[in-house]
Amino acid sequence: MNKFVKGMFAFGLSAATLVGCSSSGSGEEDASAASGSITVVSREDGSGTRGAFTELLGIDDGEKDNTTSSAQITNSTSVMMTTVEGNDYAIGYISLGSLNDTVKAVKVDGVEATQENIESGEYTVSRPFIVCTTGEVSELGQDFMNFIMSDEGQAVVAEEGYIAMETTGAFESNGATGDLTVGGSSSVTPVMEKLAEAYKKINADANISVQQTDSTTGAESTISGVYDIGMCSRELTDDEKDAGLTPTTIAIDGIAVIVNKNNSVDNLTSDQIKEIYTGEITEWADVAE
């Protein structure tokens, strides 16, 4: 009678078949993932985490970043974790402070990613957290910096799961008052908030606001005077140093290499990780013991 209705019927039918296929497909899922091709997940170009990761594992050979072009890219730790959580074949990397039990951190060269192992230097995949200031830092700013590097400040750093730096001894406030704006890297923000909280307990007259943006904005806004102290999860670039920023390393953060919990692989050598990320190894079977 009319072609259109018939066409619609066919459309609906094919849609139904498609749905049918999908439900039958999901049945044959295998739990252990020691075979299958690897889904490489990486962070975006320019990310502090990626920069440290590629450099430490030799994926970046000093001239260029050789991360395979078929690697999936994400710009957030939580998407990285959800992707790895939901994909049996995925591998990714995140800040050790963000690690939880939805994913599995693999040992690198047989060393587990823990605070102790980073401190002892056995686990080598780590990067500095940096705060930067210009020459003319306020009295309050200086006092807060002194606090961060003191016994008390570094105790907060360690408590948050990062590796503390050498301290300058017990903290004595100079009693400065006023406002202080700290801003920058989203990786450093959580620990900075704890530091600000702890500092306010000692110096209640100080008003510190911590703003979360990113490393580059942190550095730029400190240069332009919007922030008193900037936070970076990567080393400062030469441009930024030339503009008058002085970096201070306040903590070391480990980078955990993560895989799906169903993955039977527990240990990877750094060469294997490098080859996975440069695209030389593409199958889990090639790295399984």
Partner 1 sequence: MQLRENAMRIVFMLAACFSIVAVFFICFYLFINGLPAIAKIGPLNFLTGMEWAPSNELYGIFPMIIGSIYVTAGAIIVGVPIGILTAVYMAYFCPKKIYRIVKPAVELLAGIPSIVYGFFGLVVIVPLIQDVFHTSGNTVLAASVLLGIMILPTIVSVSEASLQAVPDSYYEGSLALGASHERSVYFVCLKAAKSGVLAGVILGVGRAIGETMAVIMVAGNQAVIPGSLLHGVRTMTANIVLEMGYASGLHREALIATACVLFVFIMIINLSFSALKRKEAKA
- Judged by the rule CB under 8 A, the positions of this chain that interact with partner 1 are 1-2, 4-5, 8, 11, 21-22, 25-26, 29, 36-37, 39, 44-48, 60, 63-65, 69-75, 79, 82-83, 86-87, 89-90, 213-217, 220, 234, 237, 239-240
- Residue among 36 and 124 whose Cβ is closer to partner 1: 36
* Shortest CB 30 distance to partner 1, Å: 10
**What is the DSSP-derived secondary structure letter of residue 185?**
-
Rounded to an integer, what distance in angstroms lies between the CA atom of residue 168 and that of residue 146?
Answer: 8
Mention every residue, 6+ apart, whose C-beta is less than 8 A from residue 117: 111, 123
- Residue among 67 and 181 whose Cβ is closer to partner 1: 67
Which of 209, 217, 60, 70 is CA-nearest to residue 127? 60
- Residue among 37 and 120 whose Cβ is closer to partner 1: 37
* Shortest CB 237 distance to partner 1, Å: 6
Six token digits for residue 72: 């999936």
* Shortest CB 20 distance to partner 1, Å: 11
- The C-alpha angle with vertex 49 and arms to 253 and 198, in degrees rounded to 5, equals 40
DSSP labels, 77-102: HHHHHHHHHH-TTEEEEEEGGG--TT
- Residue among 74 and 114 whose Cβ is closer to partner 1: 74
Distances in Å between the Cα of 31 and the Cα atoms of 65, 87, 262 are 33, 11, 6
* Shortest CB 194 distance to partner 1, Å: 22
* Shortest CB 220 distance to partner 1, Å: 8
- Residue among 70 and 120 whose Cβ is closer to partner 1: 70
